[in-house]
Structure 1
């Protein structure tokens, strides 16, 4: 009987430009629909990647040093952001969130829409004017 996978801590890179806050997080092996990012009104960001299904019918697992999914990270954002107009993309196993800076945090739940094999995006304005 296989044991339940543990929730994995996600390392991040966070940086700011004059008009945006960017967060990048490696989350390998997921499909875009497995990923959720939530910006709360109290200026917190929760990134979550659901477990894709454990390996089935393995007779003999010889080395098991990482698993796909069960990712979770909650962080306080250093600036108020507009979650509604955020851009979110997922490709090559990396989630990238781009939030427009705002006078007050605008909460949002961000889900990705699949755009190709293992790629997804959620399009907002990320601080840039709409065309």
Structure 2
């Protein structure tokens, strides 16, 4: 968004209004604190989702599958010393939440999840109606 204001007083007021709107939008959305990379691979009869979640244990992770949507949520817990004097701290901690929409319905009952060395591998079969059908052609 581009905002052109020439009067310094008006500019300050516009900046305050913009900051207030952004702060309210963030509070409404409750944005997650941790962002993680994901790869989705399509196979003939399933999707394989791989997510990098270093430091997350299976007890801190929840996977939900509804129709075409896969939701990963949880918390990355990192112990920080209260009295420590950190010069730099880029190690993330906090809640994470991500929903991915896939192009076809999924079979949640047959999904398999594996978390190893901070890498989540989730194999979700496509629903029966979404799988390709092979029809035998008879000659008369």
- Determine which of 60, 66, 70 is the counterpart of 1:34: 60
Distance 2:63 2:129 in 1: 18
Structure with greater proportional strand content: 1
In the alignment, which residue of structure 1 is the partner of 2:75? Answer: 50
Q: Is the 8 A contact 1:27 1:95 kept in 2?
A: yes
Q: Is the 8 A contact 2:33 2:93 kept in 1?
A: no
SS class of match (2:108):
coil
- List alignment gaps of at least 5 residues for structure 1: 1-5, 106-131
Q: Structure 1 residue 68: deviation in Å?
A: 3.6
Give 1:60's aligned residue: 85
Q: Per the alignment, do residues 101 and 29 of structure 1 end up closer, same or farther by CA in structure 2, a change over 3 Å counting?
A: same
Count residues in correspondence: 99
- Greater helix content: 2
Q: CA RMSD in A?
A: 2.0
Match for residue 103 of structure 1? 128
Within the candidate set 72, 77, 80, 2:105 is matched to 80
Residue aligning to 1:16: 42
Bigger Cα Rg: 2
1:71-110 CA-partner distances (Å, limit 9, x unpaired)? 22111112211111100000111111001111369xxxxx
- 1:13 Cα shift? 0.6
Please list every run of 5 or more consecutive structure 2 residues that lacks an aligned counterpart in the other structure: 1-31, 131-140
Render the CA deviation track for 1:16-47: whole Å, top value 9, x for unaligned: 11111110010111111101111123x21111
